[in-house]
Amino acid sequence: MTNTPRSTHWDIFCTVVDNYGDIGVTWRLAKQMVNEYQIPVNLWVDDLASFSHILPTLDPLKATQSFNGVNIIHWKEPLPVAFVAGAMLIEAFACELPEQVKAQLAYLHQNAPKSVPIWLNLEYLSAEDWVEGCHGLPSLQANGLKKYFYFPGFGAKTGGLICEQNLFAERDAWQADTANKLQLFTDLGLKDIQAQDTVISVFSYETEALPALCELWQQSAEKIHALIPKGRSLNSLTHLLPCDIAALVPGQQINHGNLTLHILPMTDQQGFDRLLWSCDFNIVRGEDSFLRAQWAAKPFIWHIYPQEDDYHLVKLEAFLKLYCDNLPPKIACYWSELNLAFNQAQQSAVSLHWQNLNPVNLPLLHHAKQWPINALNAADLATRLVQFVKNS
Q: By CB under 8 A, name the binding residues for other proteins.
A: 17, 93-94, 121, 123-126, 128, 130, 133-134, 137-144, 149, 287, 305, 307-308, 310-311, 314-315
Q: Closer CB to other proteins, residue 167 or residue 333?
A: 333
Please give the positions annotated as active site. 22, 287
Distance of CA 180 to the CA centre of its chain: 23
Q: Closer CB to other proteins, residue 143 or residue 165?
A: 143
Residue spans of alpha helices (H) in the chain: 21-37, 48-51, 99-111, 130-134, 167-175, 178-187, 209-218, 232-235, 269-278, 288-295, 311-323, 329-343, 347-357, 361-376, 381-391
Minimum CB separation of residue 91 from other proteins in Å reads 10
Q: Compute the radius of gyration of the chain from its Cα atoms.
A: 22
Q: Closer CB to other proteins, residue 39 or residue 118?
A: 118
Minimum CB separation of residue 313 from other proteins in Å reads 9
Q: Which of 288, 293, 234 is nearest to 262 (CA)?
A: 234
Q: Closer CB to other proteins, residue 149 or residue 174?
A: 149
The angle, 0 to 180 degrees and rounded to 10, between the axes of the packed helices 347-357 and 209-218 is 50
Q: Which residues of 218-239 are buried (b: 16+ CB within 10 A; e: fewer)?
A: eeeeebbbbbbbbbbbbebbee
From the number of C-beta atoms within 10 Å of its C-beta (0-12, 13-18, 19+), residue 168 rates as: middle
Sheet arrangement for strand 281-285: 253-256, 259-264, 224-229, 198-202, 281-285, 300-303
Compute, in degrees rounded to 10, the torsion defined by CA atoms 317, 319, 324, 325. Answer: 110
Q: Closer CB to other proteins, residue 125 or residue 226?
A: 125
Minimum CB separation of residue 307 from other proteins in Å reads 5
Compute the half-sphere exposure of residue 184: CA atoms within 13 Å on the CB side of its CA.
22
Sheet arrangement for strand 88-92: 64-67, 70-74, 41-45, 10-14, 88-92, 118-122, 146-150, 138-140
Minimum CB separation of residue 72 from other proteins in Å reads 24
Using DSSP bridges, classify how beta strands 118-122 and 88-92 pair: parallel, antiparallel or unpaired: parallel
Q: Closer CB to other proteins, residue 102 or residue 256?
A: 102
Q: Which of 327, 339, 333 is nearest to 364 (CA)?
A: 327
End-to-end CA distance of the chain: 23
Q: Which residues are CB-contacts of 364 (< 8 A; sequence separation ≥ 6)?
A: 299, 327, 331, 335, 357
Minimum CB separation of residue 136 from other proteins in Å reads 9
Sign of CA dihedral 27, 30, 35, 36: positive
Minimum CB separation of residue 121 from other proteins in Å reads 8
Minimum CB separation of residue 64 from other proteins in Å reads 29
Q: Closer CB to other proteins, residue 243 or residue 314?
A: 314
Minimum CB separation of residue 138 from other proteins in Å reads 6
